[in-house]
Amino acid sequence: MPKGTNQKLKLYRLAQIMLENTDDEHYITMPEIMEELGKYEVTADRKTIYADLRDLSVLGIEVEGEPIGNRYHYRVVNRPFELPELKLLVDSIQSSKFITEKKTNTLIKKLEKLVSKYDAQRLQRQVYVSGRIKTMNESIYYTVDAIHNAISENKKIKFQYFQWNVKKEMELRHGGAWYHISPWGLSWDDENYYMIGYDAEAQLIKHYRVDKMLHIRMSDESREGKEHFKKLDMADYAKKSFGMFRGKETSVKMLVNNSLAGVIIDRFGKDVMMIPEDADHFRVNVDVHVSKQFLGWVFSLGEAVKIIGPDEVVEQMRGEARRLMEQYGE
C-alpha cells in the first residue's frame, strides 16, 4: 500500500493533533485522527499511524489507547504541566505589576499551547488583565535578561533610572546620569521586582525597581561587592526592608495583640519568637530596616501593635505621630 502524502510532516502534525485535541477528559478515535491529518493534507493508513503514535514517546509525548465500545480511543497522558499548575502560573503573571498588559496576554497565550484546546478555554476564563495596574515599560523582559547575563558573566551593568512626574511623563533621575552597579540578585517584594546590587562609589548595597531601569547594558568591568553579598541572605534582606525602603537595621521590640499572630508570622516567618506577655498579648523582637514605611506598617495595625523598644525607634514613632497631628490636626 502507498505510504501516503506529506510523510515528512506526519509525525509533527500527529503530535499537534494529539496535544490540541486530547486530555484527561477528551479522547480521539482513529478515524478522527485520520480526518484531522487530512486537514493538513497528510494521508496514511491505520497501521503506520499506530506505529507513529508509539513513536511519539521519543518526542516525550505519551499516548494511551483505551477500548470503548467497538473502538479504541486515544489521548495524551503525563503532560509537562498539569492544568492547576498552569492556572497558578497564569495567576502569577496576571498579578505581576512589572509585566505589561501586552506581555501578560502574550505569555498566557503561550501557556495555553501547553494544554489541549479544551483546557486552554479554562485558562482563558482566568484572564482578567484589562484594568489592572501594570507597568508601561515594555523593555522589562530584556532588562531582566540583561541582569541575569551580567550576573552569570560576573560583570557590572550601566543603566538610566526614571521616575514619573506630575504630567505622567518618564523623567530620568539625576539628570539622566548613568548608574554603574554590580548586580547580585533579583528580589520580589510588594508586587514589584527589584535588582539588588552594589554601588562601589557609595560603598553601599542598593536596590532598584527593574521596571524603572532603562537602556541597560553590560559593562566591561567585573562586579564588586562580593564580600558584602557573601554574608547577605537575599530573602532576609527583603523581609527586613518594608517596601524595599532602606533604613538603619535595628532589633525592634513590639507588644502585639494575640489576634495578630498570623500577621506577624506572614511578615517575619514561622521562626519568629513570640513570647507571651499576658493573656491577650505577646512580645516579639524582629530585625528590620527602620524607615517611614516600617513605621507606617505599624501604624496601619492600629492599637493592636505597639513599639516598646529601643528608645530611639519609639521616639521616631512619636515623631511620626506628631507630624501626622500637625498635618491633619485642626
Q: What is the pLDDT of residue 175?
A: 92
CATH topology for 7-77 is Arc Repressor Mutant, subunit A (1.10.10)
Q: What's the CATH architecture for 140-231?
A: Roll (2.30)
Q: What is the pLDDT of residue 32?
A: 93
Return the number of other C-beta atoms located less than 10 Å from residue 98's C-beta. 20
CATH code of 242-328, in short, is 3.30.70
Domain ranges of the chain: 7-77, 83-124, 140-231, 242-328
Of 98, 95, 96, which is closest to residue 147 (Cα–Cα)? 98
Q: What is the pLDDT of residue 80?
A: 85
The residues pairing with 257 across neighbouring beta strands, listed in sequence order, are 281
Distance CA 165, CA 173 (A): 11
Q: What is the pLDDT of residue 103?
A: 84
Q: What is the pLDDT of residue 128?
A: 52
What is the value of pTM for the model shown? 0.58
Q: What is the pLDDT of residue 238?
A: 62
Distance CA 74, CA 54 (A): 11
Write the DSSP symbol of residue 283: E
Is 242-328 the same fold as 140-231?
no
pLDDT values of the chain reduced to their tens digit, one per residue, 330 residues: 455 666 778 899 999 999 999 998 999 999 999 999 999 888 888 889 989 998 898 888 999 998 888 888 999 998 888 888 898 888 888 777 778 778 888 888 899 999 999 998 887 755 555 555 566 667 777 888 899 999 999 999 999 998 887 677 888 999 999 999 999 888 877 667 888 899 999 988 888 988 889 999 999 999 998 887 776 666 666 655 655 556 688 899 999 999 988 888 878 877 889 999 999 999 999 988 888 888 988 998 999 999 999 999 999 999 989 988 888 876
